[in-house]
Amino acid sequence: MKAIVHVALKNGVLDPQGKAVADTLARMGYKEVESARIGKVIELDLEDGLSEADANARVKEMCEKLLANTVIESYRIDLQA
């Protein structure tokens, strides 16, 4: 089973890297880009035999403890068989 974790800054949290990307794209001629937000995607290969509920619970625990800073970031877990 594979778990894909999408981590992004929460709304209202300043994203200087996203601003730099948006500004640079505008200077490159991509005027249609009004803003950008930068996040991360983490792919975890999980051992066979875990139930979907157990896998989701374990990955959520991983996110809360290490993968996401839950003060300023939100996350979403997608499980794939």
How many domains does the chain divide into? 1
Question: Tell me, what CATH number does 16's domain have?
Answer: 3.30.1280.10
Q: Which residues pair with 3 in a beta bridge?
A: 44, 79
Q: Cα(71)–Cα(42) distance, rounded to whole angstroms?
A: 19
Q: Cα(78)–Cα(5) distance, rounded to whole angstroms?
A: 6
Q: How many residues does the chain have?
A: 81
* Structural domain of 27: 2-80
The predicted model scores a pTM of: 0.89
Per residue of the chain (81 residues), give pLDDT as tens. Answer: 999 999 999 999 999 999 999 999 999 999 999 999 999 999 999 999 999 999 999 999 999 999 999 999 999 999 998
| Predicted pLDDT at 14 | 97
Parallel/antiparallel/unpaired status of strands 73-80 and 2-9? antiparallel
